[in-house]
Structure 1
Amino acid sequence: MDIHLSTHTATRARPGPLRHSRTWDSGAPCIAEARDAVGALLARARPEPGRRAVQDAQLVASELVTNAVKHAPGPCALRLELAPDAGALSITVVDTSPDLPRQPPPDPGRVGGHGLLLVNMLSGGLEVTPLPRGKRVTATVALRADAGG
Structure 2
Amino acid sequence: MVIPLGKQVPDEHHPTVSLRHGVVWGADGISLADTRTATRDLLARAGHPPEAQVSQDAQLVVSELVTNALRHAPGPGGLLLEVLPGAPARLRITVHDTSPRTPRLRVPDPRRVGGHGMHLLTRLCDRLETGHRADGKHVTAEIHLPHTDPRLPEPGPRVD
The two structures have a TM-score, normalised by structure 2, of 0.80
How many angstroms does 1:29 deviate by? 4.1
Distance 2:112 2:16 in 1: 45
Q: Which has the larger radius of gyration?
A: 2
User: What does 1:128-139 align with in structure 2 at a 5 Å threshold?
Assistant: 128-139=130-141
Amino acid at match of 2:67: T
The answer for the alignment partner of 2:109 in structure 1 is: 107
- The 8 Å contact of residues 119 and 125 in structure 1, kept in 2 or not, is answered as no
Unaligned runs of 5+ in 1: none
Q: Report the 3-state secondary structure (helix = DSSP H, G, I; strand = E; otherwise coil) of the residue aligned with 2:62.
A: helix
The answer for the alignment partner of 1:8 in structure 2 is: 8
> RCO (CA 8 Å, sep 6+): is it higher in 1 or 2?
1
The two structures have a TM-score, normalised by structure 1, of 0.85
Q: Provide closer, same or farther for how the CA distance between residues 63 and 16 of structure 1 changes in structure 2, counting only shifts above 3 A.
A: closer
Percent identity over paired residues: 47
Amino acid at match of 2:10: A
User: What does 1:1-149 align with in structure 2 at a 5 Å threshold?
Assistant: 1-10=1-10, 16-27=17-28, 29-46=30-47, 48=48, 51-85=52-86, 87-144=89-146
Amino acid at match of 1:128: T
How many angstroms does 1:130 deviate by? 0.4
The answer for the alignment partner of 2:153 in structure 1 is: none
Report the more deviating stretch, 54-63 or 23-32.
23-32
Unaligned runs of 5+ in 2: 148-160
How many angstroms does 1:30 deviate by? 2.8
How many angstroms does 1:143 deviate by? 2.0
